[in-house]
Structure 1
């Protein structure tokens, strides 16, 4: 009996049970990311993540300490996929075009990521987490700033890199997170995938024409 009590005590501190064998750290990150495609961050609980991964909620504590740390790892994982090194050379207009499309791909692959940062991670009290988030979000701003520095022919008009980042993120993200409104405004039966491509092309044209020096 005492042995059973010790086993339960250990498990309550985060030790996963035998039924969770095979569900590791990466599986929890994947599960959380998949849930964030369909659910707002508040509904992506530790229990929901573990259940989606096929394991015990104790796994979240075992591998990450808490749900907040797990969601930060999800953000960092997606951020690495979407990040691009600030350019040293190249055609600034072409690189700007590619980066706009990369941002759209990011928002599609991480449907609720911006909302996650605003609703959940922005309120964290951990200096380490706040520093990680700031570093990740500085990437696009630095990318746009470097576009200005390599624009030797003056193809681009002067712009604020921070404002451009906020504009591109907002424009691309709302089409995804605001899909219920978009669907309400278009005819019933509209091909939403085709509409998304048309919208992306529209935004590319809008931004490039707005940033080209006249």
Structure 2
């Protein structure tokens, strides 16, 4: 093969061992790795190995690793966010949304870290706008729950602060696993502990936000 032909092929789609490895395979591999590793370790080479293809496929399909991570983050974000509720009991909606945040955190173990790491290192307006959009949705949900509290059962709260609190509380239980294992008896059932912790956080936040009767 001539040098010119070789250079031309390097800019195109890799073949041979990479045949059959497409966009979706790379996205699936990236999502799997983000459940296991911090984002900085999810390299193009690691993604390609997991997908069974050539690292050049990342460049071919997405342009670069950052754009692949952006697409994965967008996909996970869209799956994890529901539109603001139209009606319902404010306290129950709040409890449901807290549990939904925990489910999302478990399904996307390093999602918050991915957003922060990539946002810190990127100059891409697209990435910044996407992160702003994903985080605005839960803030809007909390604001809507306040509006639905017509009976005034909840004390006044800042939707942004509540979003930050719930994200931090739920995320640390997942990403802080090594510390938890140091504090727990060996052989502890982590799934059972996660369930109890989630229930504890629900009670903590709902009780904290519930309006108290005025003192005489």
Residues 3-33 of structure 1: CA distance to partner in whole angstroms, max 9, x if unpaired?
A: xx34421332252223212111111111011
Aligned equivalent of 2:116, options 118, 138, 142: 118
Moved over 4 A (4+): none
| TM-aligned CA deviation for residue 172 of structure 1 | 0.4
Note the aligned Cα RMSD (angstroms): 1.2
Q: Which residue of 1 aligns with 2:49?
A: 51
Distance 1:137 1:7, change over 3 A: farther
- Check conservation: 1:47, 1:57, Cα contact below 8 A: yes
Matches within 5 A, 1:34-183: 34-183=32-181
- Check conservation: 1:72, 1:121, Cα contact below 8 A: no
| TM-aligned CA deviation for residue 70 of structure 1 | 0.5
Q: Which residue of 1 aligns with 2:16?
A: 18
Distance 1:114 1:166 in 2: 11
- TM-score norm. by structure 1 comes to 0.95
| Residue segments in structure 1 that go unaligned for 5+ positions in a row | none
| TM-aligned CA deviation for residue 199 of structure 1 | 0.4
Residues 28-72 of structure 1: CA distance to partner in whole angstroms, max 9, x if unpaired?
A: 111011001111111100011011011111111111100000001
Give the total of aligned pairs: 212
Distance 1:55 1:142 in 2: 41
Distance 1:209 1:7 in 2: 69
Distance 2:12 2:191 in 1: 42
